[in-house]
Structure 1
């Protein structure tokens, strides 16, 4: 949707299509039902009739399509892309013309002692665009941003659902709560993320004593505008993002860096999670922020510090389970393997990607793991972009043999049961992958994967197929 919509044309109360008069209102309803802005734009390019009908009611049609794209969290999504952010300058991060109010906890020092600096008045900005502000007509740039952000939130919701409701999708209410909170977290991170190094942060306080307190109070004011139930939703989303960050960072670095990484925003967190690499955070942050080993006064407690003050002021004791705020019914966490009941490290769709796929070589059936021809072929595939553990296991589930048809991929398995599943199917998966890659099938060896000759005779391993069951 890089280009603007077609230029407006004069339009009457109805349009003729194939000799049939169709009211503009009817065509408008059809256009308003477009699932996304790309579809709407393509529809308007069909003929001038559709375009002229659009021009009779552009704002309402665009708003309807925006609701289809974003869902009921549209007010939060629009506020995110339109919010008048302060200039991200270390000593002037709040605009001079911002409406501000004095922090009741801040006081001026009237001391007459010479050379003693007075305490800075801490002021906080008031939001200029409440969420209930009429949206009006969306510009082409806004439509592109809404659609892109909706894709990000949708992917995050999918991961959240896999983690906390297994394979079940969120209900409409749960989805609304999640998206609403996620867009609010996006806005908060965009507003308060300043890409500074540690020297810059020290200089902020040296040049303007109290500036860090001002930022903390502004964060507090930003969150304090939400109701307690909505703040609990935000807390749940923050905890979920921390879970994703924990899978990217080393355990010893997580506590120090989790809020610095979170400050870069949910889109960056998602990108790092998919890549399984902290390099994504290093690209978004000053390298020193990741490697210094020092606590960061600017980002530490990004959400937790202001929330703690709000809980205290409102006399709220938040529930232990963060996800209660999003989910209508908490699905008990599966603490045992679905197949054997063993309490151990568990694997499911939510964390298959954490497996090291090349370790699968040791799981080949029979004596295949000593067949140099087949192990080399397997390693080559596993080292490719489509050979990651999550892809391999997902494809194995699509080809389960009769003894395993009752196994569900949304269920959690212990390491032993997962390895049993993989061992029973990996040679079949490898056979299928080799054929799809252009390998010409050879005659099956009578002894299949249990053949002894395949181990010490390379020519036999190459001339016969051993990715099959023994027939003798």
Structure 2
């Protein structure tokens, strides 16, 4: 054997192999690495617990103790059977079928002694808890089991996705992935795991709603007070900064739910349902907007809705005990304006969530060069929630100016040409309009809005206004490049005859301004 080889037969020592395993970014990469050769597998068997914990830390970051608490807290197991599924606080059937969810099986089989010790240790923790305070260090100290790796991975995906949304909404509209700093990301993730745990322990499925209609009102009041005190005690273990951060991520979930149901006719009070549903379900609502955004909450709506009014206990599910804890510490309630987001990041400004043209909040939709670039790269589904089919080649002719949009011949020709650009259609339109300097600006005496600019971040209303004013100019430029334009119609895009006479629509050019009045 060459002298530069170690006893393991490889050009690297076992210590280096161990470091390679410790820095695996995911459990799937860990599995792939240890299956590379017997030496890697043997090194893993020496320290399986520490390696698995290190990879879990690589996935969750400093929030690993809170991530473990979300799946190990003994009160989670006390939920009624119909509400005790992992799917209600971080696991889903789809996640379990994900490739990354299969990664730890062979790892765990290599060390069968690991299977008993974690379970025994957790049982000892569960037996000690009762009504006393639970030490998070106890919950996170036990070795991580194979099942828990799946749950950690599923929950971390939810938290990471919500962090991306938060960053996009309040920090950097040009990036679809989180731009939070290391400390800001830690604050957000820890707070989101705290909320994930809170919504699972105090899930409304544990409430005795039937008692609301019973005659013994004193017993009902006493039960309500007892549960309120339990929620208050649970939050009391958090530091004041953590309480403020918890409030901010709770408000963020409410915003997401309100955005999802903005066209559903529900009152704004429905946002209180977000904290009862928890982060996983709210994210599912966000991802389900093209179909039925409230479908993930249907069973909860049926459970709590009474004559189109949500159960009154939902309103103070978090805010009541949260404010009581702040009051006990002589801390002012969180501000009601955007400044409460500063608990997560001091870089948050109100302008980050506003349209550059009308200054209104654009919610979770923004239209800009970066949006169109993501769309052209097939990345738009990650953050953008508008049904972008409205702007595809088949439908974008609806944005032609005035009566042009009802010109069948023009719309058909437009759609055929637009198909050539595929997913990059909006990016092509945006770039061409600015490169050719043909963007129409309204006369200063006819508007109280700023000029369009190439770097604008626009809400959907303003973006459609931009298309209505300028899309026909782009189409005229493209069309004139392939064939000579016909004689102009006197009435241009305002011509009504073009909408019902194909002969007239094909005979004259209507991509022009009106010259006869």
TM-score (norm 1): 0.71
User: 309, 312, 322: which is aligned to 2:324?
Assistant: 309
Task: State the partner residue of 1:105.
Answer: none
Tell me, yes or no, if structure 1 residue 81 matches structure 2 residue 71: yes
Find the counterpart in structure 2 of residue 121 from structure 1.
none
Residue by residue, what CA displacement relative to the aligned partner does 1:34-74 show, whole Å, maximum 9, x if unpaired?
21111111222222221111112212222221122111111
Residue 454 of structure 2 corresponds to which residue in structure 1?
407
Question: Which of 119, 140, 143 is the aligned partner of 2:146?
Answer: 140
Tell me the secondary structure at the aligned position of residue 62 of structure 2. Answer: coil
In the aligned structure 1, how far is the partner of 2:319 from the partner of 2:297? 23
Residues 97/73 of structure 1: CA separation in 2 closer, same or farther (3 Å cut): closer
Partner of 1:72: 62
Structure 2 gaps, min length 5: 1-5, 85-125, 368-383, 440-451
Residue 447 (1) aligns with residue 485 (2): yes
* Shift in Å, 1:291: 5.4
The answer to whether the 8 Å contact 1:261/1:281 transfers is no
SS at match of 2:8: strand
CA distance in 1, matches of 2:134, 2:156: 23
Following superposition, the deviation at residue 126 of structure 1 comes to 3.4
Q: Return closer, same or farther for 1:220/1:462 CA change in 2, 3 Å cut-off.
A: farther
Once residues 187 and 443 of structure 1 are traced to their aligned partners in structure 2, the CA distance between those partners, rounded to angstroms, is 60
Alpha-carbon distance between aligned partners in 1 of 2:499 and 2:472, rounded to the nearest angstrom: 18
Matched-pair contact (CA < 8 Å) for 1:233–1:325: yes
1:332 and 2:346 aligned = no
Corresponding residue SS for 2:9: strand
Deviation string, structure 1 residues 349-386 (Cα, Å, up to 9, x no partner): 45863578378543225864133256469899x9xxx9
2:380 corresponds in structure 1 to none
Q: Retained in 2: the 8 A contact 1:246–1:258?
A: yes
Of 234, 237, 241, 1:225 maps to: 237
Structure 2 residue matching 1:16: 3-state secondary structure:
coil
TM-score w.r.t. structure 2 length?
0.65
Which deviations, in whole Å up to 9, do the C-alpha atoms of 1:145-200 show, x marking residues without a partner? 11121111111111111111132611111111101100110000011113379854
User: Measured at CA, do residues 86 and 56 of structure 1 come closer, stay the same or move farther in structure 2, by a change above 3 Å?
Assistant: closer
Partner of 2:13: 23
Shift of 1:315: 0.9
Partner SS for 1:408 = coil
Give the Cα separation in 2 of the matches to 1:310 and 1:219.
10
* Separation of aligned partners in 2, 1:379 and 1:149: 43
- Given the alignment, which residue of 258, 269, 272 partners 2:271? 258
Work out whether residues 44 and 51 of structure 2, in 8 Å CA contact, stay in contact via their aligned partners in 1: yes
- 8 Å Cα contact 1:159-1:350 kept in structure 2: no
Q: Which residue of the partner structure matches residue 162 of structure 2?
A: 156
Count of aligned positions: 409
| 342-351 or 309-318: bigger deviation | 342-351
Are 2:23 and 2:54, in contact at CA under 8 Å, matched by a contact in 1?
yes
RMSD of Structure 2 on Structure 1 (CA): 4.6
Higher share in helix: 2
Task: Give the whole-Å Cα distance in 2 for the aligned partners of 1:133 and 1:197.
Answer: 26
* Structure 2 residue 186 is the aligned partner of structure 1 residue 176: yes
**What is aligned with 2:381?**
none
Matched, 1:372 2:390: no
SS at match of 1:195: helix
Pairing partner for 1:300 from 306, 315, 325 = 315
- The Cα offsets for residues 189-238 of structure 1, whole Å up to 9 and x where unpaired, read as 01111337985453799696422222211111111100111100000000
Checking the alignment, whether the CA contact within 8 Å between 2:72 and 2:139 is kept in structure 1 is no
Q: Give the 3-state SS of the residue equivalent to 1:353 in structure 2.
A: coil
1:191 aligned residue: 201
**Structure 1 position 242, deviation (Å):** 0.7
Alpha-carbon distance in structure 2 between the residues aligned to 1:297 and 1:398: 51
- Alignment counterpart, residue 385 of structure 2, candidates 350, 353, 356: 353
Which segments of 5 or more consecutive residues in structure 1 lack a partner in the other structure?
A: 1-12, 101-124, 433-440
1:122 paired residue number: none
